[in-house]
Amino acid sequence: MAYVLVINSGSSSIKFQIVDPTADASQEPFVSGLVEQIGESSGRVTVKHAGQKFVVQKPIATHGVGLQETFKLLDAKGIGPTQLDIVAAGHRVVHGGMVFSEPELILDPVVDQIRDLIPLAPLHNPANIDGIKVARALLPHIPHVAVFDTGFFRDLPPAAAIYAINADVASQNLIRRYGFHGTSHEFVSSQVPALIGRDPLHTRQIVLHLGNGASASAVANGHPIDTSMGLTPLAGLAMGTRSGDIDPGIIFHLVREGGMTIDEIDNLLNRKSGVKGLSGVNDFRELRAMIENEDENAWLAYNVYINQLRRFIGSYMIALGRVDAITFTAGVGENDKHVREDALENLSMYGIEIDPEKNALPNDGPRVISTDNSTVKVLVVPTNEELAIAQKSAAVAEKARAAGLY
């Protein structure tokens, strides 16, 4: 069987899966794993396969060491990349700027172009490049493919993509709305038409990717027309630890009156805000337990989260003109019935009605949770970004082989 190795390289960790690109979205990957605490005194490699979990704990100095230790562990279990038919390695790359809209076969010039985009994603693109370099060195004989988080949103309408700031300043600094979670929004939105019996070219929908990071998109006939994240993944919805949209003047105020540095404000808005900043937790299961114990901070955090979510849903309903479907996905979207119910509460006048019994069912695959009378269908569709990356990478790899490059 042919597999794709999917690598998501972060600043101090590497997530990976070995995936059958022809698999169903609900199937477990053949192998999944995580390299943690790279560069720290204690590191760990965890591999999951066929219901078993294998762990190696030792210092991991670099991403290269992390992948080497991973491959060593996989080889020892008979499921290493050289022991399987790996047809491609797919790499998640956070920022493709305006350069990349489609998955790209990774050659040296492509790595250079990704490096040129580091100013747009200083925390993510360097780590993505590290993973690419190491994996290409360890697996030089297979095609490596970059799949960009921003790709799906590259061709947003100008009115949605352009910020109302000085045009020259924006152009010089590459400032515009890029959007993120694009692989998820594309994967989920492409499944919806078949689930509700509509032609994909005549389906208008809102997709709500609600995890620790959260984003919304408006998709008309297969093409996104707006999305909530912007130049960075900090914009838009209130999230687990990120503020989402705020008055930009808050930043000036914190510098002038609070005496904070730009790095301190960056840390505040990205890691110490959102639901966690208001309640102390960013796990929605913990938040629900606190709400049930009548914790006022938890209740406030939840209401701020829902209020911001409803604002985006409402604005996208106007932008689309007609809405055929609203879909929830990712960890919170797929598993928190309260968020789904409260986000769409009291919208029956707009043809949106959730069925409480369907909404309460466990997350066991794509499903419609609206009533039969609801003219706007409400769905839960599990996302599977790794499968989407595997599928795209396998397709690019096949073309590369057909062209005689491998």
**Mind telling me the catalytic residues?**
149
Q: Which residues pair with 90 in a beta bridge?
A: 6, 145
Hey, CA dihedral for 34, 130, 87, 103, is it positive or negative? positive
Are the C-beta atoms of residues 240 and 275 closer than 8 Å to each other? yes
DSSP 3-state of 296: helix
Answer whether 31's CB lies under 8 Å from 48's CB: yes
Q: What residues are paired with 111 via a beta bridge?
A: none
In contact, 12 and 41? CB cutoff 8 Å: no
CA distances from 235 to 23, 53, 225, 232, 297 (A): 33, 37, 17, 6, 23
Locate 17 and state its tokens. Answer: 């899966």
Beta bridge mates, 328 = 208, 380
Q: Name the 3-class secondary structure at 84.
A: coil
Mention every residue, 6+ apart, whose C-beta is less than 8 A from residue 210: 237, 309, 328, 329, 330, 331, 332, 333, 336, 339
Place of tokens 């007609």: 322
Quote the CA–CA distance of 391 and 6 in Å, as a whole number: 10
DSSP annotation of 310: H
DSSP state of 213: S
Start-to-end CA distance of the chain, whole Å, equals: 19
> Which helix (H) or strand (E) is 182 found in, with range?
helix 182-196
Q: From CA 95, how far away is CA 144, in angstroms rounded?
A: 17
The three-state secondary structure class of 223 is strand
Q: Can you state the angle between helices 296-320 and 284-292, rounded to 10 degrees? A: 120
183 three-state secondary structure: helix
| Dist. CA 285–CA 63, nearest whole Å | 32
